[in-house]
Amino acid sequence: MRIRKHGPAAVTVAVALAAVLAGCGGGGDEGKGEASPSAKTSTSGKSSPTASDAPTQVLAQMKGAKDITVTISEATRDPGGFVTVKGSITNNGDDTFNAATWRGDELAVAKSGASVAGAVLVDSVGKKRYYVLRDTDGICLCTTKLIGIRPEETRPFFAQFPAPPEGTTEMEFQLPTMPPAKITIAEG
């Protein structure tokens, strides 16, 4: 990922991005599955992420085609006016997985490549959708290079969104080809 220097806004984006890039990774595929909220403390999938990547809680899980599981472990409203969603992607299938379809159909994020750029937070009550933020080059502020995820492999992911109004905590996380998942945003 590259960020060009375009004044204070680019510096702010770069600093915010650096703070969350410690947990980049992930994957995606076609087909719909099922989503299930959970309050367990565990990691998902057959492979064990490192201790620093392991989710401390499970807010929701989405299960899609080819045995791909997306586990959301954190959704936090940051003081800077954005929401960061973190979790992991596990390939429980038999084939290598690439998240090309998860970048979404929007041409503006095409250069993000295999990523979670197509993720959306939906506020059903406020009837508003929040799309993944982008840097000055149009690259998503999310996990990219989600290719070659081997069977039984788990990778961390993150995505940043504009924050909904104060007091809005119940949202739906949507990712192309996966079922939606209800999550609760915590204050950061």
pLDDT digits (tens, 9 = 90+) for 27-74: 333 344 444 444 333 333 333 334 444 456 898 999 988 899 999 999
Sort residue 66 into left (φ over 0), alpha (ψ -120 to 50) or beta. left
Over range 8-14, report the average pLDDT. 42
In the chain, what percentage of residues exceed pLDDT 70? 68
Say if residue 122's pLDDT is above 60: yes
CB neighbour list of residue 15: distance below 8 Å, 6 or more residues apart: none
For the entire predicted model, the pTM comes to 0.70
**Percent of the chain clearing pLDDT 90 (strictly above):** 44
Say if residue 2's pLDDT is above 60.
no
Of 181 and 48, the structure prediction assigns the larger pLDDT to: 181
Least confident of 100-104, 122-126, 176-180: 100-104
Q: Residue 50: what pLDDT?
A: 41
> Alpha-carbon distance 146 to 39, whole Å?
27
Q: What is the distance between the alpha carbons of residues 69 and 90, in angstroms, rounded to a whole number? A: 5
Q: Indicate whether 13 pLDDT > 50.
A: no
Tell me, what's the pLDDT at 128?
Answer: 95
- Residue 183 CB partners (closer than 8 Å, separation 6+): 37, 59, 60, 72, 75, 85, 170, 171, 172, 173
Over residues 153-160, the mean pLDDT reads 95
pLDDT surpasses 90 at 159: yes
More confident residue, 59 or 14: 59
pLDDT score at 127:
92
Average pLDDT of the chain is 75
